[in-house]
Structure 1
């Protein structure tokens, strides 16, 4: 079942169950996917769908951070709920240990020895962990391994 089909089924279920917040989030995800498809002029493949979902998660995490900083507890709860719904459609996230192992393997593959090689390592790692690990975690682990 494709992501769009899954979203449509979940949207129908959310309507039946009168889950307004979930319905709103599903509609936002669908709109983002459709906008991306229009922009590219083609149907999205799984990797492109994952890119859109990752963008949605990142936007919500950034908003969450800003609202927490501003002390807006009303909006913090709303964004946390939205984030939970969006993450339902993401692939299972890798643990920090799994990401660390991938980082070590990639550093060995690229022959990186110092922080000057960080860009090369990040460029090699990100396609491997796309949608399965947070970029900031990967960045932190690469820095630790290279120092």
Structure 2
């Protein structure tokens, strides 16, 4: 069984965090490693860079949700912990797209799919999703598409 480049990097980083005694980083990396192992065993999925990226995106989304709930619940200590974990995880995602790049891709998606209204959102999302996977927050992207088509 061969290991994806990202999976190897995660395992190498786990070892480095153990050697350095970086407990916070080690905890996050072990959670990511467990998520990958779960996908490999339970879902019988071969771990590719795309699978690692999807797992990291899922973990980032969970932490963003938790962070906002902690902030609204007046728990800045826990919210800051979630924000720090998000920053650690973002290191395993490709370079994030800028606002200008997202806007240009949206314009291209609308032009190529012929989208004219909110009913065409699925077409636009299907066109753009593979091009931005792991490089932007899909929730924000969905809002931008709605605004553009609405």
- TM-score band w.r.t. shorter chain: over 0.9
> How far apart, in 2, do the equivalents of 1:137 and 1:49 lie?
21
Unmatched 5+ stretches in structure 1 = none
Structure 2 equivalent of residue 61 of structure 1: 64
Aligned pair count reads 147
1:120 to 97, 106, 123: 123
1:16 to 16, 19, 36: 19
CA contact (8 A) 1:115 1:146 kept: yes
SS in 2 for 1:112: coil
Structure 2 equivalent of residue 81 of structure 1: 84
Structure 2 equivalent of residue 5 of structure 1: 8
| Deviation readout 1:92-115 (Å, 9 max, x if unpaired) | 100111011111101111100111
CA contact (8 A) 1:103 1:138 kept: no
Q: Does 1:111 align with 2:119?
A: no
2:137 to 117, 134, 140: 134
Aligned-CA RMSD value: 1.3
How far did residue 119 of structure 1 move? 1.9
Structure 1 equivalent of residue 103 of structure 2: 100
Q: TM-score, with normalisation over the residues of structure 2?
A: 0.92
Structure 1 equivalent of residue 44 of structure 2: 41
